[in-house]
């Protein structure tokens, strides 16, 4: 399994019996200790408008294993969490920028070699990393949450806890974190070759294998990632209600962010509390609904269907105002 930043004994049970301030103090202590030891936290991501890279499950499986072996081969970085999307990736890392770039260069090269062996034509020319430095504990929490919910907000088939191609499914879910169909040391020589797509096989025998790839719990420091949050409830709030924080992150990354109906409903509720005397959005006069529609369209990237549904406006009216968003 992935080596934790610090001894397990450092992590006291903060789920009960501790005040808010005590829990927050422990989180800050942990963050500052890691920052002193490793120098920096970074969010490394690639452009979201890149052509599709992972077309099939076996491509994702190979990439998951490649992440694990690159993490092992780059001991001067730690992966806190990551997520593979069909055409881009997100990594939250601990280590200096040069080391993080070396890790990504190795990941890209191994991915390139995998597709060459498969005789697949995949364009990786624009698959280059952009890096955002994470300077505060709250920013680290938001970047972890943003990464772990990335697929969930664009794919209704998943929750942040069920998407398999990243580490988010292991956060505060021990059944996933400790799952193992088998372990690397139990595989035959042929099975190891098939898994790694490489002649190099000197990897930890206790690496957990799930669904034909190395589990993210074997290469990510999940314990650390969990313990920068006060508790599981705090983490759940972050991935489900941190709308404004994720809007700011998406703008900094140059990405288009999407929101669920529940998240946009929360935005509307707050706007109505602040500006319309608490009246429900669906009960507002037409001119006020249109002002909220403008907000959802321009500030929150809501499509026309969502705008019409959430504000109980005519779809034809919304489509006439925002024709470029019409499906």
pLDDT digits (tens, 9 = 90+) for 278-317: 888 888 899 898 989 988 888 777 888 889 988 999 888 8
**Predicted confidence band of residue 265 (pLDDT cuts 50, 70, 90):** confident
Report CA-CA distances (Å) from 129 to 41, 52, 90, 132, 255: 15, 16, 9, 10, 13
Nearest 10 degrees: CA dihedral of 130, 239, 41, 206? Answer: -100
pLDDT at 7 over 50: no
Strand bridging mode 182-183 / 208-210:
antiparallel
Helices 286-299 & 261-275, crossing angle to 10 degrees? Answer: 130
**Half-sphere exposure in the Cβ direction for 106 (13 Å, CA):** 18
Return the structure tokens found at 179.
């799952």
The per-residue pLDDT for 180 is 97
Cα–Cα dist 14/25, whole Å: 11
The per-residue pLDDT for 89 is 97
Helix (H, G, I), strand (E, B) or coil at 210: strand
**Predicted confidence band of residue 11 (pLDDT cuts 50, 70, 90):** very low
Residue 27 φ/ψ, nearest 5 degrees: -60, -45
The per-residue pLDDT for 266 is 78
Place of tokens 């294998």: 209
Helices 243-253 & 137-148, crossing angle to 10 degrees? Answer: 90
Q: What angle do CA 239, 210, 160 make, to 5 degrees?
A: 10
**Predicted confidence band of residue 251 (pLDDT cuts 50, 70, 90):** low
Q: Fill in the DSSP letter of residue 84.
A: E
Can you give the C-alpha Rg of the chain in angstroms? Answer: 22
Tell me what the mean pLDDT of segment 118-141 comes to.
93
Burial class, 49, CB count within 10 angstroms (exposed 0-12 / middle 13-18 / buried 19+): exposed
In 17-77 the beta strands, taken as DSSP E runs, fall at 41-45
> Domains of the chain (ranges plus CATH)?
17-253 (3.30.70.1290), 261-325 (no CATH)
**Predicted confidence band of residue 153 (pLDDT cuts 50, 70, 90):** confident
The per-residue pLDDT for 234 is 93
pLDDT at 250 over 70: no
Would you mind telling me the total number of residues written for the chain in this entry? 327
Residues 6+ away with beta carbon under 8 Å from 192: 184, 201
Tell me what the mean pLDDT of segment 22-46 comes to.
93
- In 3D space, the residue among 121, 123, 144 whose CA is nearest the CA of residue 132 turns out to be 144
The per-residue pLDDT for 144 is 96
State which H helix or E strand residue 256 sits in: none
Residues 239 and 159: beta-carbon distance below 8 Å = no
Place of tokens 């997520």: 83
């Amino acid at each position: 399994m992935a080596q934790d930043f610090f001894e397990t004994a450092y992590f006291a049970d903060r789920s009960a019996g501790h005040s808010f301030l005590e829990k927050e103090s422990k989180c800050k202590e942990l963050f500052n200790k890691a920052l002193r030891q490793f120098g920096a936290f970074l969010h490394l991501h690639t452009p979201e408008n890149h052509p599709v890279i992972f077309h099939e499950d076996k491509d994702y499986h190979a990439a998951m294993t490649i992440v694990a072996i690159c993490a092992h081969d780059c001991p001067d970085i730690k992966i806190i969490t990551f997520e593979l999307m069909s055409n881009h990736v997100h990594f939250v890392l601990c280590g200096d920028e040069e080391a993080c770039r070396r890790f990504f260069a190795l990941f890209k090269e191994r991915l390139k070699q995998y597709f060459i062996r498969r005789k697949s034509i995949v364009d990786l020319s624009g698959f280059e990393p952009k890096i955002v430095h994470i300077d505060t504990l709250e920013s680290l929490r938001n970047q972890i949450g943003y990464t772990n919910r990335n697929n969930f907000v664009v794919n209704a088939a998943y929750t942040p806890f069920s998407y398999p191609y990243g580490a988010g499914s292991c956060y505060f879910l021990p059944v996933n974190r400790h799952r193992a169909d088998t372990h690397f040391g139990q595989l035959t020589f042929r099975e190891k070759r098939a898994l790694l797509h490489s002649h190099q096989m000197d990897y930890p025998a206790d690496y957990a294998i799930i669904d034909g790839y190395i589990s993210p719990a074997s290469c990510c420091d999940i314990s650390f990632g969990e313990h920068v949050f006060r508790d599981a409830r705090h983490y759940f709030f972050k991935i489900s209600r941190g709308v404004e924080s994720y809007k700011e992150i998406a703008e900094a990354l140059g990405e288009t962010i999407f929101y669920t109906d529940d998240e946009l409903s929360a935005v509307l509720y707050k706007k109505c509390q602040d500006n319309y005397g608490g009246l429900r959005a669906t009960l507002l006069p037409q001119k006020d609904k249109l002002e909220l529609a403008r907000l959802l369209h321009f500030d929150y990237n809501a499509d026309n269907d969502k705008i019409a549904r959430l504000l109980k406006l005519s779809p034809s009216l919304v489509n006439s105002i925002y024709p470029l968003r019409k499906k």
